[in-house]
């Protein structure tokens, strides 16, 4: 049985021909390379960033930004940093729902503080996400990446709106507009969950 490797996400397919589309990142069959028996480990190093390596001219010095980006990818800066909002957001939205349901000022204030920290973590998460997408996936624009980028944009935008809305109207949960505010929070948690799910699919290949 032949083994084929997706050069975008490194998914391994077994069969006589590569799949029409990568089941993980949706890359077309042309992005698959044939692995010879026993060469998987050797090929790994050669195919992880093929496009970028082709672009780099021999002898051309790496810029400081390149070095920083390589270091961030090597130390998994995106998966690490993304767990700040991914961990805090579900709790924050739950606190907002409880504050709304029980009409609690204390819970409302707690949610406000939480959303400040989530918003502060987003620039780092977005930056490391772009770094990983650039370095590890050669800025691939398959369906998976399009959805993931959209989900990240929706999460970030809704988070910023929730924070600014809280600042402008601290009593929003008591106002008639509270339903819209709650809906915005649910959109935010849905988009964050989708981005996280797709990130997990890329990393774990299942």
Which chain residues interact with Fe ion by CB under 5 A?
6, 8-9, 11, 22, 24-25, 27
Q: 11 or 100, CB closer to Fe ion?
A: 11
Q: 24 or 131, CB closer to Fe ion?
A: 24
Q: Tokens standing for 139?
A: 């800025």
No. of H helices and E strands in the chain?
A: 7, 3
Taking every pair of C-alpha atoms in the chain, what is the biggest distance, in angstroms? 66
CB of 205 to Fe ion, least distance (A): 8
CB of 6 to Fe ion, least distance (A): 3
| Distance in angstroms (rounded) separating the CA atoms of residues 177 and 70 | 46
99, 107 contact by CB (below 8 A): yes
Q: 25 or 122, CB closer to Fe ion?
A: 25
CB of 191 to Fe ion, least distance (A): 23
CB of 10 to Fe ion, least distance (A): 7
Residue 146: partners with Cβ closer than 8 Å, 6 or more residues away: none
Q: 11 or 145, CB closer to Fe ion?
A: 11
């Amino acid at each position: 049985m032949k083994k084929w490797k997706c050069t975008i996400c490194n998914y391994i397919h077994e069969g006589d021909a590569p799949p029409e589309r990568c089941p993980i990142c949706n890359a077309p069959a042309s992005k698959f390379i044939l692995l010879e028996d026993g060469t998987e480990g050797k090929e790994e190093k050669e195919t992880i960033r093929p496009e970028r390596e082709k672009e780099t001219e021999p002898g051309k010095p790496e810029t400081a930004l390149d070095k920083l980006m390589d270091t961030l990818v090597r130390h998994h800066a995106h998966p690490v940093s993304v767990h700040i909002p991914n961990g805090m957001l579900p709790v924050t939205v739950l606190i907002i729902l409880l504050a709304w349901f029980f009409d609690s000022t204390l819970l409302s204030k707690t949610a406000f503080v939480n959303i400040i920290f989530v918003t502060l973590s987003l620039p780092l998460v977005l930056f490391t996400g772009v770094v990983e997408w650039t370095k590890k996936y050669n800025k691939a624009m398959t369906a998976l990446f399009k959805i993931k980028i959209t989900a990240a944009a929706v999460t970030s935008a809704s988070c910023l709106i929730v924070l600014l809305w809280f600042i402008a109207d601290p009593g929003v949960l008591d106002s008639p507009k509270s339903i819209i505010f709650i809906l915005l929070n649910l959109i935010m948690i849905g988009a964050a969950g989708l981005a996280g799910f797709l990130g997990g699919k890329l990393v774990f290949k299942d």
